[in-house]
Homo-oligomer: A and B are copies of this chain.
Amino acid sequence: MEVRSAAVADEARVSEAWRLSRMIVSVAELSKLNFAENIAPFGLPVHLARTLLLLDEPAPMSELAEQLGCDRSWITSLADQLEERGLVTRVAGRDRRFKLIALTDSGTALRDQMTAAVARKSMVLQRLTDEERALLGPLLERLLKAPAR
């Protein structure tokens, strides 16, 4: 009897967890759509916008590859595209093998505009209250950092 009700409770817990998992993915998809809409006025494809928003400091290409979770060769292509638009330049690194990707003045200006626009129009800001956001933060941190209890 106790075993039975424990199993039922577990079943409910598992199916609720599954529902939450699917919701997280949906939220992220919505969030990406949102991002795409918000940057559309700036005329950059999503992957270039994403890269631009990452470039606080001049960064070696291999480091960008790591941050974006992609191959170095793809970074070459991204850098080419951003360079064509005058948003970044390749500058020398501490070693003649390294090339750093650095924002140009217009790249910096565009990044600042985009960051502000994207943050102000984010779903999280538009749809949640201050209190709700305060609750959400720690939960997301747990999901990202927790060592799979």
* Copies of this chain assembled into the complex: 2
On chain A, which size bracket covers the interface? 35 or more
B25–A31 touching, CB < 8 Å:
yes
**Among B17, B135, B139, B141, contact of A122 (Cβ-Cβ < 8 Å):** B17
- Partner pick for A119 among B18, B26, B120, B143, CB 8 A cutoff: B18
* Minimum Cβ distance to chain B for residue A34 (Å): 8
Q: Is the CB of A139 within 8 A of B136?
A: yes
Q: Cβ of A126 < 8 Å from any Cβ of B? A: yes
The answer to the question of A43 belonging to the interface, with a C-beta cut-off of 8 Å to chain B, is no
List 7 tightest A-B contacts by C-beta distance, closest first.
A28-B28, A18-B119, A17-B125, A127-B146, A23-B140, A21-B122, A20-B124
- Which residues in A have some Cβ–Cβ distance to B below 8 Å? 13-21, 23-32, 35, 115-116, 118-120, 122-128, 130, 132-133, 135-137, 139-144, 146, 148-149
